[in-house]
Structure 1
Amino acid sequence: MASWFGSSGSRSYRLLAESEAMPLLLLFFLLTLLGQAQEVEVSLFEGGEGVDFYRYAARRLEESRPGVSVLLEADPAMADKMRMRVLEGNLPEVSNASIDIWALIDNGDVQPLDSWLDQKAVDGESTWRETFLPGSLSQFQKDGKTYGIPLVYVVWSVYYNKALFAEHGWETPRTWPEFESLCEKIQQTSVAPIAFQGRYPFYAKALVEHTYFQQVGRERYLELAQGQPGCFDNPEMIDSLGTLQTLSQQHFQPGFQGMSHTEAQLEFFQGRAAMLFCGSWLFSEMRDNIPEGFELGSFALPLPVSDRADPAAQYATSGYFFVFKSSAHPDLG
């Protein structure tokens, strides 16, 4: 998932466009980009939101275009599979896997989508571009071209056990120093301060990028997203990584390094940790494992002590879809 920042006024956790239009949006791009291809290969990361929606969209595509079939593969480890396919030069038509997409964009392997984004949407009034939340398309834009289509919008938060906080009189913090002070109080109990999904660097990336953005602002953050030189060798990045290091060494639950996302999240819901960093897919991902009566609370990711820090800027992520020109049907891509 790629990340971008929006104001607190857009913190609702919802699809990027109206829910009834979303299957038509996906169908629209597949139909117009892939033309008469007999088989459309779609390689999906299977995350907390599930894949039922995408299977529904695939069925709609097949129903609307006889003779076209959708080969849809979904896997939590799709990013690893896609990296191998990049090395092999064997890319699917469409994927949302989290890989080094900028290298592929710079290499000319990704299809710009602007000519379709600027066509009329299903309501006949707006363009497709206008149906997306402000800022969501800018994440994968370069030289006036748009390469990625986001479908799901989620905001990262600190989730906490409300009953546990009420029992001990703990207050939710706003800054990292306040957060670390809270963790020290929690450590005086039998509960770990933070359950953490240590097997997946993706969760650490969110904390580092959030803290970095709040110190350097939008322009330098975009340079980081594009891997520009010097992004990791500066005081703000060192401070952001230092925040993560302090949390991991002093406040993460023992054994976090070997925990998957669901294992760490289960530790939190079973009351063995007081807090958890996660995106807003948490409830749908863990709904079958949340104890009855569990009081789930959340607060914004803490801010670093910086004159640039903006509490209205929230760290959000989205699953972006890309169409590959170097797929099996480059002439139709």
Structure 2
Amino acid sequence: MGSTSDENHGSAGVGRRDLIKRSAALGLISVPTMSLLSACASGGGGGSSDGNGAQGQKSKDNPFGAKKGSKLDVMVFKGGYGDDYAKAWEADFDKKLGITSTHTGTQEITGKLQPRLNASNPPDIVDDSGAQQIKIDVLYKNDALLDLSEVLDAPSVDDPGTKVRDTLIPGTLDPGVQEGKVVALNYIYTVWGLWYSGKLFQEKGWQAPKTWDDFLAICQDAKKQGIGGLAHQGKYPYYINVAIMDLIAKKGGIDAVKAIDNLDPKAFVGSDAAQAGIEAIYEVVEKGLLMPGTNGLTHTESQTRWNQYKAAFITCGSWLENEQLKQTPADFDMKFLPMPLLAGSKMPFEAIRAGSGEPFIIPAKAGNLPAAKEFMRRMLSREWSTLFAKEANSLTILKDGVDASVKLRPGTQSTVDASKAAGSNTFRFLYPDWYSEMDTAIQNASNELMAKRIQPKEWLKRCQAAVDKQAKDPASKKNHHD
């Protein structure tokens, strides 16, 4: 994300974007070899309770005894969200508790974190994200992670009568679970769908569409006026799958989602929802309603042209606004839109794909465990959640986590509104994290379809073949979307 898109994508062309997409699918990325972590295999499961002498007096407002005058070592992935939010947290931590911070903002998480883990001198809290992330299950298997239950069972900063875990959006802790323990806190709440310019829509007299027919009508009107209908980030077909898979989910309901995740022999071929979803997208292609050239563009190239009013809609997740800050005109009025409905859809229009990402960890051998736990507890306060929303233009996993008096950027505010409107009508696909080879095969089929090299029937056939191939892997039986 952000202006460093090339290095964020890495050699595989996914990297940072792959991390964010998987946040809704229990998402984590790159797997270092086990030998990298051999030196921290003796890391223990819980760490020292006094944090090497950093234990202070425990109190109602300081349940872990974070010690005034001690230092906190913070390492943050500096990607599309930047790291200004963490600096704002650290300044507040110092102001309120008298604890100063050493701050490292980097995209080279493995390069910076690995040697310190090996030397048993890790940072106190880490945002373990990006293309150079050390995968959570690898860290866990090497006893390098603190069980976060003590933080989650502590009293909430905002309501001491409520545990921290009970203030979070349901399901958002799931991605950080290993063998029943929460060992990573996926902090950012991401939503996916369509995006449009409020200014352009007002100028053209367009209303945000709730049905696919209304969506197509706007695309057709845009085409007549020399504007593309739908833009997508063609070089990374993950993005058009946002539209395709959301249409399938909303058409067929949660059963359609589970059929794909659970490798059903009729997940695609024989699925009315899958057929309807892919035929709807192909109609956009067939009628020439794509933004010209979009199939050959990177994510930032396509998004920038959309910012230049060269397309009415674009598919993306809620990192889009922060990623495009420098390219977005001041009066663009960015807006989020849930995927419009196909006729006979089982989910309501307000339903959105949503989930948590950006895993924060506390190393088991952190030198200042009391302060690290208190820092994480405050991350899950409304004040710090609002600070994050202001600095990084995105939501956190805290329920109603943004102070209503704070003025957010229009795109971020629209995701707040959409999340409230959706309520419990959220869904997520788990297959991208469980089955990366299958995910890649589906993305490749979508790439061929958008270029008109195959048609919907062949797309369904290729996707089903990817499902059937995955189902033959014995390891697949360990996963089930209930």
What is the aligned partner in structure 1 of residue 313 from structure 2?
275
What is the CA-CA distance between 1:192 and the residue it aligns to? 0.9
Note if 1:300 corresponds to 2:338: yes
Number of the residue aligned with 1:46: 79
Q: Distance in 1 between matches of 2:226 and 2:199?
A: 15
Of residues 282, 300, 304 in structure 2, which corresponds to 1:266? 304
Match of 2:230 among 187, 191, 194: 194
**Residue 116 (str. 1) matches residue 137 (str. 2):** no
Shift of 1:216: 4.5
How far, CA to CA, are the matches of 1:33 and 1:218 in structure 2?
43
Change (3 A) 1:302 1:67: closer
Q: Tell me how far apart the structure 2 counterparts of residues 220 and 268 of structure 1 sit (CA, whole Å).
A: 31
| Structure 2 contact 24–190 (Cα < 8 Å) conserved | no
CA distance 1:324–1:293, shift in 2 (3 Å) = closer
Once the two structures are TM-superposed, the CA of residue 116 in structure 1 deviates from its matched residue by 2.4
How much has 1:320 moved relative to structure 2?
A: 3.1
- Residue 128 of structure 1, aligned match among 139, 144, 164: 164
The CA deviation string for residues 222-243 of structure 1, in whole angstroms up to 9 with x for no partner, is 686xx64349943245654555
Superposition RMSD on alpha carbons, in Å?
4.8
Q: Is the 8 A contact 1:160 1:297 kept in 2?
A: yes
Tell me the amino acid that sits aligned with residue 116 of structure 1. V
Larger displacement relative to structure 2 (287-296 or 302-311): 287-296
Runs of 4+ off more than 6 Å: 31-34, 59-68, 89-93
> 1:70 Cα deviation (Å)?
4.7
Q: Tell me the CA shift for residue 274 of structure 1.
A: 1.9
Q: What's the counterpart of residue 426 of structure 2?
A: none
Structure label with greater radius of gyration: 2
* Structure 2 portions without partners, runs of 5+: 1-19, 26-46, 55-70, 373-482
Distance 1:150 1:323, change over 3 A: closer
Structure-2 residue corresponding to 1:97:
129
Cα 1:129/1:231, change in 2 over 3 Å: farther
Aligned position for 1:229: 263
- Structure 1 unaligned runs (5+)? 5-30
Query: Which protein is richer in strand relative to its size?
Result: 1
Q: Decide which of 172, 181, 189 is 2:208's aligned counterpart.
A: 172
2:13 paired residue number:
none
SS of structure 2 residue aligned to 1:321: strand
Moved more, 169-178 or 183-192: 169-178
Structure 1 residue 3 corresponds to structure 2 residue 36: no
Out of 176-185 and 57-66, give the one that drifted further: 57-66
Number of equivalences:
295
Conserved in 2, the CA contact under 8 Å of 1:55 and 1:72? no
CA deviation string 1:181-235 (max 9, x = no partner) = 43233222211112323344453343244233324444764686xx643499432
- Once the two structures are superposed, residues 28-74 of structure 1 have per-residue CA deviations (whole angstroms, 9 ceiling, x without a partner) of xxx99994599957352612x4320123445677997979845431x
Change (3 A) 1:106 1:242: farther
- The structure 2 residue matched to 1:252, chosen from 262, 279, 290, is 290
Change (3 A) 1:252 1:141: farther
Q: 1:168 to 1:55 in 2, by over 3 A?
A: closer
